[in-house]
């Protein structure tokens, strides 16, 4: 938790030494313990070697590109928060980073206060997910079963293989059956905050999630488009 005396453990993967020193100096004020890797291969190895409360990841890394690092981390550690910190500020770069599993994206040059705020938000959301998991471990609707502790889901005892973001979307929908949410609301609740203009990444995640649910059940059900608003989860068969 953020308020623990020891503070969270953060992994910074950044090859520019000046930026790395700046980030480490300001994030240590959270307070936090920050470990630094200066290239992609070393960063991925460190990310997988031990638990982290969050990872701050540059894209233009030597050895292994940041997107490949993000993909490698997500393949084995679905829940660790990842913030991409990059000079690549195009919409395509941001959307690609988010779709590969990053939780947030901050473009260089950046405000250190904003960086601190976003890391705090990621850590709080991560802690909130743990607390929710303790309170409510599983949700069931008809033949659909979702387990937040295991981060697994099944339809008629057949497991649905979901990415971390797809699972987060399904869990959020299942907690609010019958309610319609706009793309902006889904970005706020599932991705976090600060993703203005990324609504179409919601569409792509929803489409993939819906296709997997429909394939597993054999019917078009659960997630429905609400024209002019967004999407709604229907629990009935």
Tens of pLDDT, residue by residue over 160-215, are 988 878 888 999 999 899 999 998 888 888 876 555 556 777 888 898 899 999 88
How far is Cα of residue 144 from the mean position of the Cα atoms in its chain?
A: 23
What's the CA gap between 71 and 196, in Å, rounded?
23
Domain boundaries defined on the chain: 9-132, 137-233
108-119 pLDDT, tens per residue?
Answer: 888 888 888 888
Tell me which residue of 222, 230, 229 sits closest to 139, measured CA to CA.
222
Highest mean pLDDT among 48-57, 88-97, 123-132: 48-57
Mean pLDDT score of the chain, rounded to an integer? 83
Query: Any idea which architecture 9-132 has in CATH?
Result: 3-Layer(aba) Sandwich (3.40)
Q: Provide the 8-state DSSP code for 227.
A: T
Residue 169 vs residue 133, higher pLDDT: 169
What's the CA gap between 42 and 63, in Å, rounded?
8
User: pLDDT confidence of 2, banded at 50, 70, 90?
Assistant: very low
Give pTM, 2 decimals.
0.63
Rg (CA), the chain: 18
Angle at 127 between CA 149 and CA 74, to 5 degrees: 65
Beta bridge mates, 78:
none
What's the CA gap between 232 and 5, in Å, rounded?
42
Domain boundaries 137-233, corresponding CATH code: 1.10.10.10
10 within 8 A of 119, measured Cβ to Cβ = yes
Same fold across 9-132 and 137-233: no
What's the CA gap between 163 and 103, in Å, rounded?
13
> How many other CB atoms are there within 10 angstroms of residue 174's CB atom?
20
The answer on pLDDT for 90 being more than 80 is no
């Amino acid at each position: 938790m953020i308020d623990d005396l020891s503070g969270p453990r953060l992994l910074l993967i950044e090859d520019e030494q000046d930026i790395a020193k700046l980030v480490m100096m300001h994030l240590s004020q959270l307070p936090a313990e920050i470990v630094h890797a200066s290239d992609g291969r070393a960063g991925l190895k460190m990310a997988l070697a031990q638990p982290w409360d969050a990872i701050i990841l540059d894209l233009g890394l030597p050895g292994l590109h940041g997107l490949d690092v993000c993909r490698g981390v997500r393949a084995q550690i679905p829940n660790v928060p990842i913030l991409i910190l990059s000079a690549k500020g195009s919409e395509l770069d941001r959307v690609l980073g988010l779709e590969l599993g990053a939780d947030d994206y901050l473009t260089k040059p950046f405000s250190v206060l904003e960086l601190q705020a976003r890391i705090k938000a990621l850590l709080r959301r991560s802690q909130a997910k743990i607390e929710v998991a303790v309170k409510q471990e599983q949700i069931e609707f008809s033949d659909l079963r979702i387990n937040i502790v295991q981060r697994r889901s099944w339809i008629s005892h057949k497991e649905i293989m979901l990415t971390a973001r797809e699972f987060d979307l399904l869990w959020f929908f299942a907690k609010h059956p019958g309610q319609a949410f706009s793309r902006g609301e889904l970005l706020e609740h599932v991705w976090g905050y600060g993703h203005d203009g990324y609504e179409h990444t919601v569409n792509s995640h929803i489409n993939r999630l819906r296709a997997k649910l429909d394939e597993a059940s054999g019917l078009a059900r659960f997630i429905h488009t609400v024209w002019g608003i967004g999407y709604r989860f229907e629990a009935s068969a």
